Amino acid sequence: MAGMTSAVPPPNAPRPARPACDHCLALAADSRRREPHARLALKHTAPLVSRSAAGVPFSMLTFTCRECGTVWRLYDRANELFVSWVPECPLAPRGPAAPGGVADRIK
Ligand SMILES: [Zn+2]
């Protein structure tokens, strides 16, 4: 009989490092631009306003990527021309360079 289902890993298996989508990888490569990419959703409407250890005021906005789930923080310091995008966790690029995991199961 045809139509046997092949073995599929359970969807809720833990994935320690989710591969970042192309939008997030591009943002990581150009982290000083002001524009969020198209998949980012703002988590809080009001920016967190604070002051760095050196006394420089800055604001921070938190975004979540709707495609890969990466959480980004956008820091905007008062006297700086550029902003900085900082991912909450290090991005995991896709491809053969990914450390550990799935490749070990392939014979
Ligand atoms: Zn993403």
Q: What is the CA(58)–ligand 1 centre distance, in A?
A: 25
Structure confidence at residue 19 (pLDDT): 87
Region 13-36: mean pLDDT is 84
Are the CB atoms for 57 and 49 separated by under 8 Å?
Answer: yes
Do the beta carbons of residue 93 and residue 39 sit within 8 Å? no
Gap from CA of 91 to ligand 1 centroid (Å): 9
Give CA–CA dist 53/66, Å, rounded.
33
pLDDT digits (tens, 9 = 90+) for 48-72: 999 989 898 999 999 999 999 999 9
**What pLDDT score was predicted for residue 66?**
96
Distance 14 CA to ligand 1 centre (A): 19
Pick the more confident residue, 95 or 34: 34
CA of residue 69 to ligand 1 center, whole Å: 6
- 22/6 Cα distance (integer angstroms): 29
